[in-house]
Structure 1
Amino acid sequence: MGHSNAELIFRFYEAFQRQDIDAMLACYADDLVFCDPAFGELRGEAARDMWRMLVERARDFSLTFGDVGANGQTGSAKWVARYKFGPTGRTVVNRIEARFEFRDGLIARHRDSFDLWRWASQAFGLKGTLLGWTPFVQRAIRAQARKSLDGFRARRG
């Protein structure tokens, strides 16, 4: 079984490399739970809309991935996203560790971990470097991420 779960991870990231949102979302269970440091926890359609928004807004985007491993229940991968961060136009190289839980041949849980301070220092420059480690700024980053997702979802109806 584990072999096909590894293939599922490959399929997800290869679709992501092509920015093929439908192929990405086809890898997920309906009741997906996603979590990362920027958005916190998102479930189901909210998680799918986060990927729709990120793919739609991606500028100068490229992705590499590796260290894919999986067994019957869980899997992991490391991936690196390079893109221009819209609000500042600064280039971000985000190194991410992903963990997955599988159910019925689909991804049921997806948790991405990365250093939010390092992300902030790239996205916001000196201000991010000086303040990005503070809980206040990290909360503000999360609030802004959620706000942009809420706006995106409202426009989608």
Structure 2
Amino acid sequence: MPVPKTPSGNRRQIDPEFADMINVQDHCKVDEVDEDNVYSVFVSYIEIYNNYIYDLLEEAPFEQIKPKPPQSKILREDQNHNMYVTGCTEVEVKSTEEAFEVFWRGQKKRRIANTQLNRESSRSHSVFIIKLAQAPLDADGDNVLQVNSGAGY
């Protein structure tokens, strides 16, 4: 079975704090991969709390004197009537393990509080977004072809 081409990069070690939470099947596979394309996977994680949208992956600088609360993001609609959150952090992941690590990192930032019925009630809704990008490669299979503006994949 062909292995999809991905840009070269260093393989990161999984954070030991999350390693025991990740249980990925070794026999995951991808069918019908077009070897004339390159693929990238990006993940985002947002939380909707009290009618505000927060980026759970945003790295905010920590201020000891007066920490700033996270800034709410804006929900928009594109020309095809698809909804999206502007300014949301997208993290490129190279493996299922990396995607789970990003997910758990965002989980730690969710707002939770005790209620009489549930010890860790989230009081929010969260959305873990997975985006797959595909781009055609040149005849040598080394570089992404430049596409005219207006053309999409």
TM surpasses 0.5:
no
Higher relative contact order (CA 8 A, sep 6+): 2
TM-score w.r.t. structure 2 length? 0.25
* TM-score, length-scaled by structure 1: 0.24
Q: Which one has a larger percent strand, Structure 1 or Structure 2?
A: 1
